[in-house]
């Protein structure tokens, strides 16, 4: 079929279309100014989100129920928790066995037991992770900024050399890679506020230095060439002034980091061996160590993820009990050590640390009671094999979350779930828009913050309706 276009015209038009797609909802430079007017005193300067990607069962971690040991021939409906409970630093509050270290530091933070994940139809991890990290339900007509991007845009860097938004531990070559990329974005806020990705904390230094064998002068030449290509490429020709300036600033920030003393913060070999060993339970534990080092250098927002890979980690569709033993070993000591180290250094007071997951799990209920959704896995009525002993299905009506530092109450428990199935939230249910707005409030970001996108205001929470949950905050 003839289009009537020559090769040059075809490339020009497809480049233009590509730019339009990349910049969906991108504002004109003059329009990208915050409309927030309220002034809020901040109680936090930085945020560390420790994300348990894959669905962390609340009844197997921070909200244990009746323990039912494994036996052949048991009924699935008998099983609420597959681990006995253990005491915590809070009187009368129990955790699940295997989380003893985190239990010992709970006097320094707040336990939420009533987080309710959204109803998004067919339950998919990346849909719920998108919702958790952006506060918006997919799909959207604009590229929605990640929580970390909003924080970067509104507050800017604490240290101009250290990226404001850092993501540690998630590869995009596993599982639902393209879907994961969809919310790891600054969207219309611009490239400079996008995530600085560190796939493996042990190789963090590789992210801030030229490839092996490349001299400094050669790298500088490549950097200049890249600027020239940017100017002559689709972004230079079709991008808005704001997009071009934002991309240029992101490149300048990366170049500045490369040549700075602060780049050593990314090098875990600089950490004393005793400290390194305390965190070293694998990639996640060392991610916590890297987060501590980066916060000490002025990082504004960091996500450390246990990494989402289908049917691995917290995605316990089978061998739930056995897999959870390993997951608890991976997270327990590093999380507790991070809290203790930040507290000892005085950083915890101004650093908000969050431990969360996209949803919970249950043996019998998919989604929430009374809401019919597609079953993801078949659980036998009678359990004969250890692989069927554990939390298999996706449960959205009762999830646990931990908050420490940054103005959060100490030794506090918020919300409650039922002790019998369905173990759903029965007191103070809280949803993601309130979680986000509470984080923003702690950072001093106004609840009415918005930008004009597609000739309408676009808020940090949908329509600006997110409400701060003041019962989570000190002095409120």
Tens of pLDDT, residue by residue over 13-57, are 334 433 433 444 444 433 455 565 567 899 999 999 999 999 999
Give dist(CA 278, CA 284) in Å, integer: 12
Q: What are φ and ψ of residue 74, in 5° steps?
A: -75, 155
Answer yes or no: are the C-beta atoms of 67 and 51 closer than 8 Å: no
Please state which CATH number belongs to domain 29-205+273-472: 3.40.720.10
Closest CA to 264 of 295, 220, 294: 294
Predicted confidence at residue 31, as pLDDT, reads 46
Strands 165-168, 301-305: pairing kind = parallel
pLDDT surpassing 60 at residue 191: yes
* Mean pLDDT of the 472-476 span: 89
Closest CA to 412 of 476, 343, 361, 332: 476
pLDDT surpassing 70 at residue 466: yes
Do you know the residue count of the chain?
A: 476
- Other C-beta atoms closer than 10 Å to the C-beta of 255 total 14
Tokens read off for 448: 């009415």
pLDDT surpassing 70 at residue 393: yes
Give dist(CA 270, CA 276) in Å, integer: 9
- For residue 67, list its beta bridge partners: 81
Of 4-13, 58-67, 214-223, 253-262, least confident by mean pLDDT is: 4-13
Predicted confidence at residue 37, as pLDDT, reads 56
Burial call 344-361: b when 16+ CB within 10 Å, e when fewer:
eeebbebbbbbbbbbbbb
Global model pTM greater than 0.95: no
* Mean pLDDT of the 132-154 span: 96
* Mean pLDDT of the 118-139 span: 91
Which DSSP symbol is given to 85? E
Top-confidence residue, 371 or 75: 75
Q: Report helix angle 147-155 to 432-443, nearest 10.
A: 20
* Mean pLDDT of the 234-246 span: 59
């Amino acid at each position: 079929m003839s289009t009537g276009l020559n090769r040059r015209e075809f490339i020009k038009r497809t480049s233009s279309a590509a730019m339009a797609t990349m910049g969906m909802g991108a504002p004109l430079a003059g329009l990208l100014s915050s409309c927030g007017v309220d002034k809020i005193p901040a109680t936090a300067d930085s945020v560390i989100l420790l994300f348990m990607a894959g669905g962390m069962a609340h009844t197997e971690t921070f909200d244990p129920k009746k323990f039912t040991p494994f036996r052949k021939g048991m009924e699935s409906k008998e099983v609420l928790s597959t681990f006995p409970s253990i005491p915590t630093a809070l009187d009368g509050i129990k955790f699940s066995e295997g989380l003893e270290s985190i239990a010992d530091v709970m006097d320094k933070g707040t336990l939420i037991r009533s987080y309710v994940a959204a109803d998004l139809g067919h339950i998919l991890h990346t849909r719920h992770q998108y919702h958790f990290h952006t506060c918006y339900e997919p799909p959207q007509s604009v590229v929605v900024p990640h929580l970390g991007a909003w924080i970067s845009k509104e507050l800017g860097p604490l240290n101009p050399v250290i990226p404001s938004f850092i993501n540690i531990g998630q590869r995009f070559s596993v599982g639902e890679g393209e879907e994961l990329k969809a919310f790891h974005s600054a969207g219309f806020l611009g490239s400079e506020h996008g995530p600085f990705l560190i796939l493996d904390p042990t190789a963090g230094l590789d992210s801030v230095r030229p490839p092996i064998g490349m001299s400094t002068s050669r790298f500088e030449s490549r950097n200049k060439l890249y600027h020239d290509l940017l100017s002559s490429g689709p972004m230079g020709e079709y991008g808005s002034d704001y997009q071009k300036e934002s991309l240029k600033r992101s490149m300048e920030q990366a170049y500045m980091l490369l040549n700075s003393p602060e780049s050593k913060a990314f090098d875990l070999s600089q950490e004393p061996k005793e400290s390194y060993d305390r965190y070293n339970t694998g990639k996640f534990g060392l991610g916590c160590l890297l987060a501590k080092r980066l916060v000490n250098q002025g990082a504004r927002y960091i996500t450390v993820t246990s990494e989402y890979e289908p049917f691995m980690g917290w995605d316990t569709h089978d061998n739930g009990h056995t897999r959870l033993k390993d997951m608890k070993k991976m997270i327990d000591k590093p999380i507790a050590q991070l809290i203790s180290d930040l507290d000892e250094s005085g950083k915890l007071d101004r650093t908000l640390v969050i431990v969360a997951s996209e949803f919970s799990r249950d043996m019998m209920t998919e989604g929430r009671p009374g809401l019919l959704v597609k079953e993801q896995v078949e659980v036998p009525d009678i359990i004969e094999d250890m692989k069927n002993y554990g939390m298999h299905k996706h449960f959205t009506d009762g999830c646990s979350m931990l908050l420490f530092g940054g103005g959060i109450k100490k030794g506090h428990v918020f919300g409650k779930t039922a002790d019998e199935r369905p173990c759903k939230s029965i007191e103070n249910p809280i949803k993601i828009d309130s979680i986000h707005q509470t984080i923003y409030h702690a950072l001093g970001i106004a609840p009415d913050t918005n930008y004009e996108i597609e000739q309408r205001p676009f808020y940090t929470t949908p329509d600006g309706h997110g409400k701060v949950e003041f019962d989570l905050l000190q002095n409120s």
